[in-house]
Structure 1
């Protein structure tokens, strides 16, 4: 029996469940958790109706959009100021930093499109909605970081082969400091909002901005070397900037890859399992799956209940299990909960008809 927001469960793997039984310790813990939960409702009444879930999803998307546009404005102003100094000074280190800042600002565009698409309602073709557009935006960001690393490397190598003096060194130093401050502010803002709303793409973009701040400091070192007469300081710093970009590329690519592959933090799974086992009537968690769709989580669960329960009673347990998950798992917006009868001696496997579909 599925809970009220559910459809028939695709699989049922009871072999991976753990035997918990009806031990008195579990029952006492469940009664305590139930009492604590009811008191929480009295102190903080709320609803889990679909309209409330949509409102929370829209609010998180709006917060992500706000973070994008504010950071776009800050990085845009930073890049323009640095570009003016690049034209005057001819510094390739500052050029690499400027290009990286400009690319980082432009990554707001695919993320903005993803957040807008994520607000669209599910359709009969896209039955889970459009939240996965954020994962595509994350891939675009990784490609953008790769392109900026390649351009920075090319300009630095060209300057190593054809060295020349850098003009307006004080202006280069000031531009480097501006770049560092602007990028670090944007990095902190994007990472904070990204983690709050569960957007891996926005967190990756924040990490990108943080590395830009460090590369701006490298430009400052290059300007100091050039001021002391070392002509190769500028292109060498440009190569160092390339190496820094590659480091953030590795972190961003890993974050996006995990999201595309439906990876979740194992701590979320552990917390969800504990919450389910605290629900009165749940004997065992036979299957538990979590997946990100954009910056929202969905769950698919099979719980084992007493086989003598009526349909209504089993449904009540499934709804209570869904309710417990919505409280225990941050950013969870929907759960599919299926109630399976506990096996009894002499009773046939209720899923025997599906055995020939097993992988």
Structure 2
């Protein structure tokens, strides 16, 4: 038998007094409105993080572009392009969050959460393009060295780039982890590396001030290398999510929670997957073979409830109850065996 219920995500940080009173009066809500509100709340947090980041990084890139036009610094140009690209990644993520709010239907039965993974892929491609452009500009300047002017303005723009990117990185990573968005976390890691590349621009300006004409393009190449490193990390994060990878610790936590439920003798197959920034589970539990249908159903519901509390971003669980085998009994799943062979 199987039992399927969907729930909104449960946050288990430090609950407010209002939340505690609400949980006391209504121990656990399973209403569709509550699920929808929770989903909208997480998407709203993501949208807010995106647009705030877009404003901060857009202003930073614009200020740097003015200095690039005056100074001719190729290192600052690479940093500016990277900042602009990082700001523009808010667009695909914003589209993904809006799509993720749409309800599931008969064609997209799991909803539109996967759009967030596609947005993560677009972000990875954007990072790769910015790396290629930064490398092209730096190599061109190495082959044709030119002096950098207005070095104090370049240094100030570099510091502004670091401050803006580090603030955005902390904000995106914090919100991304809170709502379970791999794409937003990847975007935050991208912004963090941008901050350090801005500091590299400062080193290039110092080298130029000392008369080292190649300092600026060399720093441009260093920025390219830094972008490639963050590209590797972001690609790994996004591809893992697209391939349904989860933290093994989540699987262990779910298994322990199910085994602690009275009536659950053992846990069979357990699967977890991310759909956007929401988690889904499939679980088989072994119960007493003499239990009635209602008793087995109650155990399945209790197991699902335990999973919801153990995994804060879990929104849906499918729990299947198997009877404990007895000696000499035919395996009830034997009829399925020829469908499961590879």
> TM-score w.r.t. structure 1 length?
0.89
Asked whether 1:292 is paired with 2:274, we answer yes
Asked whether 1:158 is paired with 2:140, we answer yes
Once the 2 structures are TM-superposed, how far is the Cα of residue 57 of structure 1 from its aligned partner? 1.0
Once the 2 structures are TM-superposed, how far is the Cα of residue 44 of structure 1 from its aligned partner? 7.9
Distance in 2 between residues matched to 1:229 and 1:282, nearest whole Å:
74
Distance in 2 between residues matched to 1:45 and 1:341, nearest whole Å:
29
Asked whether 1:341 is paired with 2:323, we answer yes
Distance in 2 between residues matched to 1:140 and 1:42, nearest whole Å:
44
Once the 2 structures are TM-superposed, how far is the Cα of residue 43 of structure 1 from its aligned partner? 8.0
Of residues 256, 265, 270, the one that matches 2:252 is: 270
Distance in 2 between residues matched to 1:234 and 1:63, nearest whole Å:
39
Aligned length: 327
Match of 1:331 in 2: 313
Distance in 2 between residues matched to 1:187 and 1:244, nearest whole Å:
15
Mark the runs of 5 or more structure 2 residues left unpaired by the alignment: 7-21
Report the aligned-residue RMSD. Answer: 1.4
Asked whether 1:241 is paired with 2:219, we answer no
Runs of 4+ deviating beyond 4 Å = none
Once the 2 structures are TM-superposed, how far is the Cα of residue 45 of structure 1 from its aligned partner? 3.3
SS of residue matched to 1:339: strand
Instruction: Give matches, 1:164-179, under 5 Å.
Output: 164-179=146-161
Asked whether 1:310 is paired with 2:292, we answer yes
Match of 1:11 in 2: none
Match of 2:75 in 1: 93
Distance in 2 between residues matched to 1:46 and 1:228, nearest whole Å:
67
SS of residue matched to 2:212: coil
Deviations 1:298-319 (A, max 9, x none): 0000111011111111111111
SS of residue matched to 2:271: strand
Distance in 1 between residues matched to 2:340 and 2:146, nearest whole Å:
68
Match of 1:145 in 2: 127
SS of residue matched to 1:64: helix
SS of residue matched to 2:52: helix
Asked whether 1:56 is paired with 2:38, we answer yes
Mark the runs of 5 or more structure 1 residues left unpaired by the alignment: 7-39
Deviations 1:109-134 (A, max 9, x none): 00000000000000111100000000
Distance in 2 between residues matched to 1:221 and 1:43, nearest whole Å:
60
Once the 2 structures are TM-superposed, how far is the Cα of residue 4 of structure 1 from its aligned partner? 4.2
